[in-house]
Homo-oligomer: A and B are copies of this chain.
Amino acid sequence: MKAPASAPTTGSPASPQEPRWLTDEEQRVWRWFMEGATLLDDHLDRQLQRDAGMPHVYYGLLVKLAEAPRRRLRMTELAMLAKITRSRLSHAIARLEKSGWVRREDCPDDKRGQFAVLTDEGLHVLRQTAPGHVEAVRQAVFDRLSAEQQKSLGEIMRIIAEGLQPAEAGADLPWLR
């Protein structure tokens, strides 16, 4: 799907080395993966845009804040938890601030630092929209999979995720993971 099918099997490897093409079976897996992931993310994005007035990623930010100690997190910490760049987070928080769901606060210890703080209004939106969102996730994913499949899915995605975590990520931030 994403790449030409199996390889024209060669004898000795050439200089740039014969690419390890995907087999037909691997291609099928890969195609379903991309298709499922795309459709799911688009679906949840539309659901949240409609019901909560924000994209999926922004919703995820509010959730992280809601779970944090005083409903607040340092920008860098939030960025790492949400797996997005600080730049993207800056823009996102600016938008959420404009919507009144998050406010910024200076960090007393470090004058460079900023906290993103979930406002009462933000918490309210989250409470209002969480049920609908969980239901959407359930209908799209959990309702359709057996207990075994759910377990597999978790393991598989954990493996993939951990493989892509920049090795040093969080190594020096003990309070992460």
Identify the A interface with B (CB < 8 A): 1-4, 16, 19-22, 25-26, 28-30, 32-43, 59-60, 63, 83, 130-131, 133-135, 137-142, 144-145, 149-161, 163-165
Q: With the chains together, A131 CA to B22 CA distance in Å?
A: 10
Q: A43: which B residues are within 8 A, CB to CB?
A: 164
Chain B residue with the shortest CB-CB distance to A127: B4
Q: List 28 A-B contacts (CB under 8 A).
A: A2-B60, A3-B134, A3-B137, A16-B131, A19-B131, A19-B134, A20-B134, A20-B138, A21-B134, A22-B137, A28-B154, A30-B137, A30-B141, A32-B157, A33-B141, A33-B157, A34-B60, A35-B157, A35-B161, A36-B159, A36-B160, A37-B41, A38-B83, A39-B160, A39-B165, A139-B163, A141-B160, A145-B156
Q: Does A2 lie within 8 Å of B63, measured CB to CB?
A: yes
